[in-house]
Structures are given as C-alpha cells and as structure tokens.
Amino acid sequence: MSLLILLAVFTCSALIMYVVYRNLFPALSEDEMHKIKIPRDIDDVKALGTVLSKYNNTHYTRVLMAYFTTYIFLQTFAIPGSICLSILSGYLYPFPLALFLVCLCCGLGSSLCYMLSYLVGRPVVYKYFPARAQKWSRQVEKHRDHLINYIIFLRITPLLPNAFINVTAPVIDVPLGVFFLGTFVGVAPLSFVAINAGTTLYNMTTTGEVVSWHSVLVLAALAALSILPVCFQRKLQQKLE
C-alpha cells in the first residue's frame, strides 16, 4: 500500500509537470522544446537558460511558475538536478529574488518529501525496525531544545545527503515546522554560492566551478556558527549544575 501511494503521487506529479510545460510554453519551437528538460550538466543549464531568458520578459509569470514547480518536483522526489536549477536562477533573476526563490523551493520541496516519508517510510520503519526507530527518536529528544541548529548545520555541511535528511527526519520525530525553517535557512549559504555562479553562467564549463576553496571556507565558518549556540548552551548548563 505504501509503494502504491508513492507511485500514485509520483505519477500525478509527473502528469502535472507535463501539463505545465505543454501549456505554459505553447509558442516554443521544436528545437527549443528539446532544450526544456531537467538539466544534468552545465551545458544543459546553458541551453535551458537560453530558452527561458528569451521568454522571461514576455512570459515572466509562466517562466517563474515553471521554474518553481520543477524545483519543488525535484526536491520532493529526491531527483538530482537542484544545484543546476540554483545556478540557473542566478542567471534568470535578480540576486535577492533568486536566493529567496531557491530557499523557498528547497524548504517546500523538502517538506513535501518529509510528508511522503511520513506517510510511506515511517510506518515501514516502525513496523520492521522498531528498536532502531525508537533509538533514533531518543537521540532527537535529547537535542529537542536546539534541533533547528542541527538541521541548519546538516544542511550547510555535506555530512549527510539532503535526500537522506528529508526521508529520515519524520522517522525520528523532527517537527515539520522546525524542519522547514532549518532547511530554509540552512540551504541559503550554498544557494548563495550557486546563484552567484549563475551570474556568470556562460563563462562556466562545469558545475564543479560553483564551489571554490573560498566558498568552502565560508561554508565551514557558517556551519561552525550554526552550532555555537548549542555549545554555549551546554557550557552554561554545566556551570549552573
């Protein structure tokens, strides 16, 4: 039943995506339609950026809606390609709008993935791995007062894949509100780097150019800052005890 629910949701979402693209861009030529696809590398991003930028002035709302739904679709079903769309946003939109849009899409898409996992994955884990699920839940309970800091820290650092965090969060009883806010804030630093790279899209040759040593150091510093409140809180509690 869980697999059937997941398959049904994915099928409906894919149909919605198809309808969105077929109806939002009726004037696209056949060559342009071939470029409208989920980008896998920087060449795909450049080709998609060329088509969307052409229609962005005359069909701004349509392009924005297509971008928004695609990003959420990828995040919801943990499909690779989000980093390419983050780069693309820096090419299509002003920096503040692009950053807000990417953070919002990540937050909403990850939350939808969270809810799917809650409906489908959580019952399976609790049925077949009850001891492990209870152990994870107890660990979360110990850090209940600063869960949001851990979510932000995990989003900034590459310690765990984002898809893994999305799927396991409901299993270990991370509240949805904390999960959404931690994701929205936590993805901002890496999104900042990707969007900034998108402003010079056509000078890039690979998506690997998004991350430089400078950006790695900045992300590491931000990750450290995200857990400082936790460290200070523990020190304060030890002194009070």
pLDDT digits (tens, 9 = 90+) for 139-148: 677 767 778 8
d(CA 179, CA 182): 5
- The fraction of the chain above a pLDDT of 70, given in percent, is 77
- Give the range with max mean pLDDT: 48-57, 107-116, 187-196: 107-116
pLDDT digits (tens, 9 = 90+) for 14-32: 898 888 777 776 667 777 7
pLDDT digits (tens, 9 = 90+) for 78-104: 888 888 898 899 889 998 999 899 999
Residue at token pair 């946003």? 89
Domain of residue 224 covers 2-240
pLDDT digits (tens, 9 = 90+) for 159-206: 777 888 888 888 878 889 999 998 998 888 888 888 887 776 655 545
Residue 191's closest CA among 67, 37, 88?
A: 88
How many domains would you assign to the chain?
1
Q: What's the whole-model pTM score?
A: 0.80
d(CA 205, CA 202): 8
Identify the pLDDT of residue 106: 93
Identify the pLDDT of residue 73: 92
Identify the pLDDT of residue 239: 44
Side chain identity at 196, as an amino acid letter? N
Give yes or no for residue 44 having a pLDDT over 70: yes
DSSP characters for 116-172? HIIIIIHHHHHHH-HHHHHHHHHHHHHTGGGHHHHHHHHHHSSSS-HHHHHHHTTTT
